[in-house]
Amino acid sequence: MQLASGFMTAKHLFAASELGLFEALADSPASLDALAARTGLTRRAARISADAMVALGLLERQNGIYRNGPAAAAFLADPGPADLRPFLRFWDKISYLAWTKLAEALASGPPQEIFELNDDLQQVASQGIEAVLAGPANALPEVFDFSSHKRLLDVGGGTGSWSIAIARRHRHIEAAVLDLPAVTDLARSRVAATGLQARIAVITGDAMASDLPSGYDAFLLANLIHYFSPAQNRDLLARVRRAAGPGSALLLADFWTNPAHTEPLHAALMAGEFAVHIRNGDVYSAEEARQWLEDTGWRFTGHHQLAGPQTLISAQAA
């Protein structure tokens, strides 16, 4: 019953975020009447949503006064680098609907791939993915030693958030974000907003269809491997290897699993997320990645924890 009712938990959370429940309590606690006034909800609607969030531990209620709990205050109430509301919007507006077709996607492929979303939904997806991966992105420049590298190519770099995190931490690094036209405009605006456009370029291109640009000594594939089949991933890693000089570093950040694809739990569940959005989407084990690296001219150098279920596999051009 707990498993079967999981959709109720998710939709309550998505609704509370969309209705502004957490931000309404950001500055001060409120009675039910005050909360209803702040959100524009009826008293009944505000009570249903707020009490569900109390039951789930996101809001606290004492003597009829509601306040954000620590998790809601940290991640759901205010804009900033820890704001997860864009991610909840992505899961609510895009993923949730796709998951209703999970059986169909597993049986015959997804009815629509994430690449086929309209421009507005593509931005919702990109912003949501950026928000939920802020932890791993900011952990990477602390986990990997970039001191001997100068130029980074961020392959399939999305909004540029990983390159931005690296460039902020390592001021000697110059980077380029390579991605499809649907997201490069957003990447350029993100980079410009940080003032790093002199050190981070944005390149429009398809890593699976053309040669990668040369002149880089570090290559980042962050959450790209799970888009493709094993054969496609071998091809991609070979493409990167052809662009890499001796000693170049390769960084693969993703939901790497154990050999049975059952741990970490979130990674095992994310296989369904990828299946409903991407025809060949899947999660892979670290052991599978090591074999692909060996097959394509890379030498495995380490497997490192980033944040949450995300880990980093590093390699060097053999």
The boundaries of the domain holding residue 25 are: 6-75
Question: Do 47 and 194 have their domain in common?
Answer: no
Assign residue 64 the CATH number of its domain.
Answer: 1.10.10.10
Burial of 108 (0-12, 13-18, 19+ CB in 10 A): exposed
Q: Are residues 149 and 206 in the same domain?
A: yes
43 within a domain of the structure (yes/no): yes
Residue found by looking up tokens 């291109």 in the block: 205
Same domain flag for 69 and 127 = no
Kindly state whether residues 38 and 129 are assigned to the same domain. Answer: no
Quick one: 133 and 247 in the same domain? yes
| Cross-strand partners of 316 | 249, 299
Per-residue pLDDT tens listing for the chain (318 residues):
999 999 999 999 999 999 999 999 999 999 999 999 999 999 999 999 999 999 999 999 999 999 999 999 999 999 888 999 999 999 999 999 999 999 999 999 999 999 899 989 999 999 999 999 999 999 999 999 999 999 999 999 999 999 999 999 999 999 999 999 988 999 999 999 999 999 999 999 999 998 999 999 999 999 999 999 999 999 999 999 999 999 999 999 999 999 999 999 999 999 999 999 999 999 999 999 999 999 999 999 999 999 999 999 999 999
- C-alpha 31/C-alpha 17 separation (Å) is 18
Q: How many domains does the chain have?
A: 2
Domain boundary among 75, 100, 122: 75
Question: pTM surpassing 0.85?
Answer: yes
Indicate whether 141 belongs to any domain. Answer: yes
Instruction: For the chain, give the number of residues.
Output: 318
Same domain, residue pair 199 and 284: yes
86 part of a folded domain? no
